[in-house]
Structure 1
Amino acid sequence: MANALIELIGYTRSLMRIYFSYVAVVFMFSAGIPACAQAAPKEVAGTLPWKCHIIDGTSRGADGVKLADVNRDGFMDITTGWEQGGVTRIYLNPGPAKAKGVWPFVTTGLTRSVEDAVFVDLDRDGAVDVVSCCEGGEQSVFVQWAPKAKEDYLDESKWRCQAIPISKGMTRWMFCIPMQVDERGGVDLVAGSKEPNGRIGWFEVPENARDIKAYKWHTISTAHWIMSLRAVDMDGDGDLDILTSDRKKGPMRGCRWLENPGVHCVEGVSPSNRGQDARDTGKPSKQAWSNHFIGCQDREVMFLTVDDIDEDGLQDVLVAAKAPKASEIIILRRLDAAGRSWKEYVIPYPEQTGTAKAVAVGDVDADGKKDIIFSCENATAPKSGVMWLSRRKGVFDGDWLAHDISGPRGIKYDRMELLDVDNDGDLDVLACEEREGGKGLGMFWYENPHGRSER
């Protein structure tokens, strides 16, 4: 009876969507002059939550979604770490006809306290491997080597899991991205962590990537609690820089990017960080990775995304953030190609949602306008944990509508991916949740109702 009552409350609440014009807090960092305008939220009638299709719910604490087509069948596959379950898994997309059922998967390694998992063919043998970042008491970065034979990919016994020796016990690893840093050999690994010993840096992968004892670590910057890492050419000079969000109070808090000094200057750690840790190896860099803040130093920033949301030809940054009194979506509007000038636009989270966690951008209802999708943590029933925002005017005009996706089920969501899973012409939402019912909802996707049959 109690569960039925909770569902009824959630269903009733989900029949409301929230119209609101945002608290537009604008700040141009190059000028340092703030300006702001406020408007109160309003509620209007809305729609039902989307259908939820469970991909896997057999472990505990699913934490993050990363995509790649590992078997080259044209469908995007998933990797995720199960933090409380202590494993990393890969899910092979069965295609649109079977996507609403459970997906075939393989456990690639035992990875206690795993926070992040990412696909990368590290040894360049054609079989896509996985790298997992672990915090807690594990504090290691694990490489899980894929079997080379395609028919063995889902055979757990054919996978080999190894911790990168130099990573062990260094810090609480939170996030990793593949990135070619030194243009020698194969791809390198850029990683970020949280305190103690929080940092951003890169693992220099040797020519023989399987020689895991030969990996070298290079610190680029100190950090407090890294939430996001993105490899993006932020200044248009042709090389990849590092975009990051750091949530914890301190001098590195906020959204910033680290400027790649160029291949001839990244042989080792930057001079300003030399000696920070005895594990820094290699020759000192000829030039440091310069740090450029783009916003949100006064907020607890969570996951970010990159998108030209106003379609002016410049890539903007959006981030979910916690402010002292509320959660917000921050649009960091880029004003120049060099990535030095930015404006902040703040969209408050609607009422009856959890606190900020992640944000994504895509045209949800196929009306030609870019929409915003966001997720939450602390979304206890009857609050919603995933919603999407549509607009009737321009991106910065403050005329947004909030639509439910998840309903009241789910408490702690993570980052999301947008993908047309069922091939019906619209973007579905791939997500995970780690608290509902004690072990979480697991890995799943929400079916967008705005498919071909709806138009």
Structure 2
Amino acid sequence: MVDLDANGVLDVVSSTEGKERSIFFHWAPELKSITDANQWKTDVLPASEKIEAWMFTLPFDVDQDGDMDLISGSKSTGASISWFENPGGENSRDVEKWTIHRATDAAWIMSLRILEVGSEKFLAYSDRKGDRSGIYLIPFLKKEPWLGKPVLIGASGEEVMFLDLALINDDEKPDIVAALRPDKIRIFHHPENTLSLWENTSELEPLSSDKHGTAKAVRVGNLDDADAPEYIITCEHANGQKHGTMMYQQSSGYSTISGPEGVKFDRIELLDLDGDSDLDVLTCEEREGLGVFWYENPANRK
């Protein structure tokens, strides 16, 4: 969700693969009509249409002109990380004026995140397949072409799924936490030089193949107001009685959130959806038709 036309209301951007292979803008109406589906308008982004299998899109002002651009990653033949330049002002809704800039080739992009270290910003991303698999950083530049060259910083040759950024240590530098198939959740601790190899790593207990599916996504957050963060993890291949969504706590290990419902879960968002001052878990599932749903955090349940 992002305010593409700077009118103070969040719009929705959706990325599609399969037959669509396009990015869509879903323009929001005024707030008073936000729940009226007939008031929303959808446009395909022509610069994205039918050219790549778009997997993930992240809003960010790449060219630093005050307008919100989009960074997108794709998979399969011709895959890339590209950014779409917002024409700005009154032209933001003129989808024909948005332009695409290819930043780097890719194989199968799973995650895009903005990593900030002091005044420096980097695009952190995971590429899942082929000879490009691993975790990379691209520095944002102060002038054109705005994005530098990708630097491989970890997990070379491994099947990296979704990743998250979190302050795991006390050094005030964000670390990277990644799900690696089939059963690993690995923490890449921030080195002195951000663009060097992130060699200092640690791992959670491996996922049990008897109880869990294969690692898909991980998010880190404080879900119980204790000092240590919790790790929320989703899985694929959670067949039968296996669990597809779970929590890891340093003091007690894994505990289930989902139960056996669902098989193929996906990305995670940690949000206070019920307004009770604790983080809930938003995710989705595509094999048993659970759709988009959330798990209520019982910490502050009344």
TM-score, normalized by length of structure 1? Answer: 0.62
**Aligned-pair distance for 1:423?**
4.2
**Aligned-pair distance for 1:452?**
6.5
- The whole-number CA distance in structure 2 between the counterparts of 1:424 and 1:122 is 30
Asked if the contact 2:280–2:297 (Cα under 8 Å) also holds between the matched residues in 1, the reply is: yes
Aligned to 1:344: 201
- The whole-number CA distance in structure 2 between the counterparts of 1:388 and 1:162 is 38
**Hey, which bits of structure 1, 4+ residues long, moved more than 4 A?**
none
- The whole-number CA distance in structure 2 between the counterparts of 1:452 and 1:409 is 23
1:194-233 deviation line (CA, Å, top 9, x unaligned): 1111000111111211121111111111000001111222
Distance 1:422 1:165, change over 3 A: closer
The answer to whether residue 208 in structure 2 is matched with residue 329 in structure 1 is no
The answer to whether residue 72 in structure 2 is matched with residue 191 in structure 1 is yes
Q: Equivalent of 1:389, from 237, 248, 255? A: 248
The answer to whether residue 8 in structure 2 is matched with residue 121 in structure 1 is no
Q: CA RMSD in A?
A: 1.9
Asked if the contact 2:115–2:174 (Cα under 8 Å) also holds between the matched residues in 1, the reply is: no
Asked if the contact 1:364–1:370 (Cα under 8 Å) also holds between the matched residues in 2, the reply is: yes
Q: Equivalent of 1:226, from 90, 106, 109? A: 109
Asked if the contact 2:177–2:186 (Cα under 8 Å) also holds between the matched residues in 1, the reply is: yes
- The whole-number CA distance in structure 2 between the counterparts of 1:243 and 1:417 is 17
The answer to whether residue 135 in structure 2 is matched with residue 255 in structure 1 is yes
Distance 1:353 1:339, change over 3 A: same
- The whole-number CA distance in structure 1 between the counterparts of 2:141 and 2:236 is 37
Q: SS of the residue aligned with 1:431?
A: strand
1:327-352 deviation line (CA, Å, top 9, x unaligned): 11011111225342422223311341
**Aligned-pair distance for 1:424?**
4.3
**Aligned-pair distance for 1:152?**
1.7
- The whole-number CA distance in structure 2 between the counterparts of 1:381 and 1:153 is 39
- The whole-number CA distance in structure 1 between the counterparts of 2:300 and 2:53 is 42
- The whole-number CA distance in structure 1 between the counterparts of 2:24 and 2:271 is 27
Distance 1:123 1:449, change over 3 A: closer
Q: SS of the residue aligned with 1:157?
A: helix
The structure, 1 or 2, with the larger RCO (C-alpha pairs under 8 Å, 6+ apart) is 1
**Aligned-pair distance for 1:428?**
2.3
- The whole-number CA distance in structure 1 between the counterparts of 2:258 and 2:184 is 18
Aligned to 1:176: 57
1:368-427 deviation line (CA, Å, top 9, x unaligned): 2112111101101210111111113xxxxxxx6111111111111111122333444543
Identity %: 40
Q: Equivalent of 1:368, from 224, 227, 242? A: 227
- The whole-number CA distance in structure 2 between the counterparts of 1:419 and 1:211 is 32
Q: Equivalent of 1:138, from 20, 31, 46? A: 20
Aligned to 2:279: 427
- The whole-number CA distance in structure 2 between the counterparts of 1:331 and 1:167 is 34
Q: Equivalent of 2:168, from 286, 309, 325? A: 309
2:271 maps to amino acid: L
1:19-66 deviation line (CA, Å, top 9, x unaligned): xxxxxxxxxxxxxxxxxxxxxxxxxxxxxxxxxxxxxxxxxxxxxxxx
Larger Rg: 1
- The whole-number CA distance in structure 2 between the counterparts of 1:305 and 1:179 is 17
1:406 maps to amino acid: S
Asked if the contact 2:152–2:197 (Cα under 8 Å) also holds between the matched residues in 1, the reply is: no
Asked if the contact 2:285–2:292 (Cα under 8 Å) also holds between the matched residues in 1, the reply is: yes
Asked if the contact 2:154–2:197 (Cα under 8 Å) also holds between the matched residues in 1, the reply is: no
Q: SS of the residue aligned with 2:47?
A: helix
Aligned to 1:22: none
Q: Equivalent of 1:416, from 263, 268, 273? A: 268
Q: Equivalent of 1:158, from 20, 23, 39? A: 39
Count of aligned pairs between the two proteins: 297
**Aligned-pair distance for 1:240?**
3.0
- The whole-number CA distance in structure 2 between the counterparts of 1:165 and 1:142 is 9
For residues 278-317 of structure 1, the aligned pairs below 5 Å read 289-317=148-176
Q: SS of the residue aligned with 1:334?
A: coil
1:198 maps to amino acid: A
2:28 maps to amino acid: A
Asked if the contact 1:181–1:266 (Cα under 8 Å) also holds between the matched residues in 2, the reply is: no
Asked if the contact 2:269–2:281 (Cα under 8 Å) also holds between the matched residues in 1, the reply is: yes
Q: SS of the residue aligned with 1:136?
A: coil
Asked if the contact 1:244–1:255 (Cα under 8 Å) also holds between the matched residues in 2, the reply is: yes
- The whole-number CA distance in structure 1 between the counterparts of 2:225 and 2:208 is 23
Asked if the contact 1:133–1:174 (Cα under 8 Å) also holds between the matched residues in 2, the reply is: yes
Asked if the contact 2:125–2:136 (Cα under 8 Å) also holds between the matched residues in 1, the reply is: yes
- The whole-number CA distance in structure 2 between the counterparts of 1:261 and 1:423 is 38
Segments of 5+ residues of structure 2 without an aligned counterpart are none
